[in-house]
Chains A and B, each alone.
Chain A
Amino acid sequence: MKTDKQTDRQTALRIFFLMALVLVFAATSGGSLLAAPKKLATAKAGDCAACHGADKVLPDGHAPTAAMNGEACLGCHQKGSPLALYTKMPLSHFHQLKGITCQACHTDLNAPQELSTEQCLACHGSFETVAARTANVKPQNPHSSPHGNTYTACDLCHHQHAKSENFCAQCHNFKFVVP
């Protein structure tokens, strides 16, 4: 039979662990208390709820997406239109929708590694090829830096699991829109 003291201690421990869990959770979700998505490798790309659960990630009245792939999205969200998804979702989602799964980049899903620029370029083409695609971007081609190729490492600007950023803007007035 448990004494009152023991019960108290157990309750205190439970509360402690619960609080610790909440704290860990808050820390891993970037300080926000919203649930962090699950990063479920088996989820279908269009099945938002598989990772995001009940979180509202689509606007009200949006068509169900669970069965959609990237091409289906383009039915409404054409490139260049006001509805274009460009910059509106993390890049990992674009990859997923085009069939580039978690495993395609991270290989070992039990211990996913950071990617190198070389891995990105293996699909996207050489530095020169990438630069040619944005040759007309003003006021400066973001993929052809006078500071050399270390300044065009992909993840300086393009993040997969966080909001992308305009790395050039720390020293320049370039107002690039970064997908």
Chain B
Amino acid sequence: MKEKEKAVSRRDFLKVTGGTAAGIAVTGMAWRPGEAEAAAMPKKWNETFDVVVVGSGFAGLAAAYEAKKAGASVVVLEKMRTPGGNSIINGGVVSAAGSPLEARDGIKDSPELLLKDMLAAGLNLNHLELARLVAYESNNTVQWTINELGVKYKDSLSQEGGHSVPRMYSTYNQSGSAIVTQQLEKLKEIGLIPRTQVLLKRLLRDTDGRVKGVEVREKYVFPRENSGRTKFIKAKKAVVLATGGFGNDVPFRTIQDPRLTADLESTNQPGATGEALREAFRIGCTPVQLSWIQLGPWGSPDEKGMGLNPFFAQLCCAMYGLWVDTQTGKRFVNELADRKIRADAIIRVGNKCIAFTDANGFAIGQKMLGDIMAKLMERGVVKRYDSLAAMAEAYDCPIAPLRETIANFNKAVAAGKDEEWGRYLQKNQRALDTAPYYASRLMPKVHHTMGGVNINVEAQALNVEDDKPIPGLYCAGEVTGGVHGAVRLGSCAVLDCLTFGRIAGRNAVREKAWG
């Protein structure tokens, strides 16, 4: 059935354009050999909306909200059985540079400093205008989630690797679901519920260059490619592509980075695959930095997927404890370096590293993370040791160099400066010397795909042929590239997605309807 439809649409296309060569001349797709890539418009659209949003994570929902609020008819399409994509399983931290909480805590910060951190981690591969926009909108964006969406955050700031200062807000439940559920709630209030199990098959770009709608499969059952029924949805004003990254797409990710084979686990939901991104390229979007794929250094081999270890390894240990190589008993990286530096370091020293902290660091974690710590202990991801010697023995770590490592760190704490690795020391950092000790094993997991399609500051997708906006197509979130350059800083993805999602939604409504 599907094959037949495809054949029909190709024939129709040839009829319209008078042959393949003419099709290429009109659409400018000569960069791809074979058939012309513009799809014929269907004879009949099954449904029509002003704005068709594909994807229901932070970016898609933000776009839908802005578009719907501006009075457009909007549909949100999600291929999985639940809305929210990776966003709903995200760790719930968002950076805000120049926030009221920073002012309260006497932390000196600015959008410029956040931008500087983003560029440093991004190896200056960042598309500057995009990164600047995200950094300068960071506090506005977080305050918008509070004031407009009603998102609840904890009362204290935390710090991920690569950030000069603690500037992260944490949602009350330490999950992106606290934001997504509010987005869903607000959308429901204005009459919009995302449709699940609808897979994007084709972005329908007409011979005049405009994206005019989508071909989807309704009642699709992931990952059965040909499940569901074909349907054509017309987008009178625009399509917003917010389909996320491809961290869990082993074939596509190994094309970009052949080292990231199926042997590596991913923190992503199973639907974080690249078919929509491939489709965007097929219709003429421009690829940006696809091989920059980030591993989260704080994963654990003792739990599946993202799990909960990132909270312990980051907050209790990277901020207040140490990461050591159990083969040497020594630190091997600045625990607050960006994710790539840390993941690379773990792999380089042989993948036998642990994160640990003492009773004080653990107490801070308990205060900040509540029952997450109890769950980590219960699941055996984090283990408790009555003495340093017991911990060293459990991981087959030489005790003498471990003691020396800790003594050196404690000296650094006393001096207020980490000469050895240059780590930012927390204002309330204490010497590591109080039993019991808590530790977890570290295992880097595929986490975020920095690359994607090229967009401008208006979230318009840019044509591979001439870098001009593709009429009728906006892109936002992890499906785009450029904001983060080589390495994304933790807590900046939410910003990226919400900022550009909102821009895409607002701009999509302003498009002139084509028919």
Contact = CB atoms under 8 A, between A and B. Distances in A.
Given A146-B177, A147-B89, A153-B82, 12 more contacts: A147-B88, A147-B177, A148-B181, A148-B184, A149-B181, A150-B88, A151-B82, A170-B269, A170-B270, A171-B270, A171-B304, A173-B304
A156 interface: yes
B247 to A, nearest CB: 13
B84 A148 contact: yes
Nearest to B180: A148
A138 interface: yes
Nearest to B372: A146
Nearest to B89: A147
Given A138-B378, A140-B375, A153-B82, A148 B304 contact: no
A139 interface: yes
Nearest to B270: A170
Contacts of A148: 84, 88, 177, 180-181, 184
Interface residues of A, number: 17
B173 interface: yes
Given A147-B175, A173-B303, A139 B84 contact: no
B184 to A, nearest CB: 7
A153 B305 CA distance: 22
Contacts of A173: 303-304, 379
Contacts of A145: 177
A156 B180 contact: no
Interface majority SS (helix, strand, loop, mixed), chain A = loop
Interface of B: 81-84, 88-89, 173-175, 177, 180-181, 184, 269-270, 303-307, 375, 378-379
A172 interface: yes
Contacts of B173: 146
Contacts of A171: 89, 269-270, 304-306
Nearest to B380: A139
A23 to B, nearest CB: 14
Contacts of A149: 181
Interface string A141-167: 000011111110100100000000001
Q: Which of B82, B180, B269, B306 has the most CB of A within 10 A?
A: B82
Contacts of B375: 139-140
A153 B181 CA distance: 14
A31 to B, nearest CB: 13
21 contacts: A140-B375, A146-B174, A146-B177, A147-B82, A147-B84, A147-B89, A147-B177, A148-B88, A148-B177, A148-B184, A150-B82, A150-B84, A150-B181, A151-B88, A156-B81, A170-B269, A171-B270, A172-B304, A172-B305, A173-B303, A173-B379
Nearest to B303: A173
Contacts of A138: 378
Nearest to A152: B82
B264 to A, nearest CB: 16
A170 B378 CA distance: 20
B184 A150 contact: yes
A172 B306 CA distance: 9
A172 B181 CA distance: 21
A146 B91 CA distance: 11
A150 B83 contact: yes
A146 B175 contact: yes
A149 to B, nearest CB: 7
Contacts of B177: 145-148, 151
Nearest to B56: A150
Contacts of B304: 171-173
Contacts of A172: 303-305, 307
A139 B380 CA distance: 11
A150 to B, nearest CB: 5
B88 to A, nearest CB: 5
Nearest to B307: A172
A139 B306 CA distance: 16
A140 to B, nearest CB: 7
B83 A139 contact: no
Interface in A95-153: 138-140, 145-151, 153
